[in-house]
Amino acid sequence: MMLDLQPPGDRRIWPAGWLRWLKVGLGVAAVYGLRTKLIPALTPFFYALLLAYFLVPLVRQLEARGLPRVTAILVVYLLLLVGVTLLGVYVIPTMVAQVNSFIKQLPTISIRAQELLLQLADQYERIDLHPAIMESIQNSLLRLQGGLTSLFDLIGQFFFSLFSSVVVIILVPILSFYILKDMEAIQAGILDLVPASYQPRVRFLAARVNAKLGAWVRGQVLVGLITGALVFAGLQVLGMDYALVLGLLVAMFNVIPYFGAIMGAVPAVLLGLLRSFNLGIKVLILQVVVQQIESFVLAPQILGRELSVHPLLLILALLIGTQFGGVLGMLLAGPVVAILLDVAKHWWLRQWEKGQESS
């Protein structure tokens, strides 16, 4: 006797449900196919959303003190403007000068680094090693040389795009203002697209996602700023050139788990080695010490345990995110996998509670 596993009364629901999921899948596939055209257009909205997530706690605190929403946002923007002005007077001129000098020196630095690698290759050729080992070392040095050139080109392009995107700089605060002002209306509009029977569950999950994503944005920015400041102070003590730029690189790359620490440390270590071997070792030790402080002190205290993900799973998510979304995919891999794990945990708990109730 064959068992009918389909619940009674649901014989017409399943095809409709599968059709709905098929439409969602086709929509996701279409968006992914158009990602190269959509990403540049959506970039200002992405940065505006990040800024809104960063500012929303301050806005809510001012609202709790009795200020209207728009007034609270304007006060926060005024404080932000004062902070940016102070940076513009005391920090940004030095940073821009170092960035310009750094970009101009990139070809020279790259050539000197390649010469150092060639000297390293010559040293290996004088050692009597097995031909297979020698070939492997030479191939590794060639890959390192190509990767080094690509890294310096990427750094130069990043700083050029950062300081030349005037439209993005103007649009982001405006978009962020409207996101902060109409956040509840935006959320309600999105919720209206969901069938009424699913809205309570979607609202609950959206609140958890919002909490986790907001904590990640604010926590990562704060951890990155503190880590970059520590590296900047250490490089200043060691007498390194471009200490402010190198500290800024560490702060920005720090938002990428595991790989970001290496990407941010490589330029400083290489510049130190090009000046002297001892300086390069000191810079390397400084980077290791700061990253240990970040991993065992700053991240647990600021980010907490809510966003903790097993390292193997996080690295897998980073690799997948990089493959599908490039740098943006790498940046979003951490919070996305944390959110998915949280949603899966919530679903399993609901299934367990239903099982307990039925038994």
The DSSP annotation for 169-196 comes to HHHHHHHHHHHHHTHHHHHHHHHTTS-G
> What is the sign, positive or negative, of the torsion defined by CA atoms of 124, 128, 129, 134?
positive
Residue 137 and residue 205 share a domain = no
What digits encode the pLDDT tens for the residues 145-200?
555 556 556 555 555 555 556 667 788 889 999 999 988 888 788 788 777 777 78
68: its two tokens: 């209207």
pLDDT at site 133: 59
pLDDT band for position 304 (50/70/90)?
low
- Of 157, 181, 205, the residue that ends a domain is 181
pLDDT at site 63: 92
Max mean pLDDT range (25-29, 286-290, 294-298, 352-356)? 286-290
pLDDT band for position 72 (50/70/90)?
very high
298: its two tokens: 């700053």
Asked whether the beta carbons of 307 and 219 are under 8 A apart, the reply is yes
The larger pLDDT score, comparing residue 285 to residue 88, is at 285
- Of 181, 208, 224, the residue that ends a domain is 181
pLDDT at site 286: 93
26 within domain boundaries: no
25 within domain boundaries: no
Q: Give exposure, 162-184, as e/b (b: 16+ Cβ within 10 Å).
A: eeeeeebeebbeebbbebbbebe
pLDDT at site 7: 47
300 within domain boundaries: yes
For tokens 């449900």, the residue is 17
Residue 167 and residue 222 share a domain = no
Residue 246 and residue 203 share a domain = yes
Residue 207 and residue 168 share a domain = no
pLDDT band for position 82 (50/70/90)?
very high
14 within domain boundaries: no
Max mean pLDDT range (39-43, 90-94, 286-290)? 286-290
341 within domain boundaries: yes
Question: Considering only CA atoms, which of 165, 147, 167 is closest in space to residue 155?
Answer: 147
pLDDT band for position 328 (50/70/90)?
low
Phi (first) and psi of residue 240, to 5 degrees: -80, 145
Question: Considering only CA atoms, which of 234, 230, 236, 271 is closest in space to residue 254?
Answer: 230
Residue 174 and residue 298 share a domain = no
Neighbours of 217 (CB within 10 A): 19
Phi (first) and psi of residue 90, to 5 degrees: -105, -25
- Of 181, 209, 233, the residue that ends a domain is 181
309 within domain boundaries: yes
95 within domain boundaries: yes
3-class DSSP state of 282 = helix
**Is the pLDDT assigned to residue 114 strictly greater than 60?**
yes
**Is the pLDDT assigned to residue 43 strictly greater than 90?**
no
What digits encode the pLDDT tens for the residues 225-269?
899 999 999 999 998 888 888 888 888 888 777 777 888 888 888
pLDDT at site 11: 47
Residue 203 and residue 129 share a domain = no
Mean pLDDT of the 207-224 span: 78
Q: Which of 49-63, 242-256, 321-335 has the lowest mean pLDDT?
A: 321-335
pLDDT at site 254: 83
**Is the pLDDT assigned to residue 353 strictly greater than 70?**
no
pLDDT at site 61: 92
19 within domain boundaries: no
Residue 168 and residue 208 share a domain = no
Residue 249 and residue 120 share a domain = no
Distance of CA 347 to the CA centre of its chain: 27
Average pLDDT taken over every residue of the chain: 75
Q: Could you list the residue range(s) of the whole structural domain that residue 338 is in?
A: 197-354
C-alpha 36/C-alpha 277 separation (Å) is 43
pLDDT at site 145: 55
pLDDT at site 187: 79
Total domains in the chain come to 2
Distance of CA 3 to the CA centre of its chain: 50
Residue 129 and residue 60 share a domain = yes
**Is the pLDDT assigned to residue 218 strictly greater than 50?**
yes
Question: Considering only CA atoms, which of 251, 272, 274 is closest in space to residue 263?
Answer: 251
Mean pLDDT of the 86-99 span: 77
Residue 212 and residue 150 share a domain = no
Question: Considering only CA atoms, which of 315, 84, 336 is closest in space to residue 217?
Answer: 336
Residue 218 and residue 131 share a domain = no
Mean pLDDT of the 91-100 span: 75
Residue 202 and residue 114 share a domain = no
3-class DSSP state of 126 = coil
The radius of gyration of the chain's CA atoms, rounded to the nearest angstrom, is: 25
C-alpha 127/C-alpha 134 separation (Å) is 9
pLDDT band for position 13 (50/70/90)?
very low
Question: Considering only CA atoms, which of 281, 251, 227 is closest in space to residue 95?
Answer: 251
Amino acid in the structure at residue 316: L
pLDDT at site 198: 76
Give me the percent of the chain exceeding a pLDDT of 90. 14
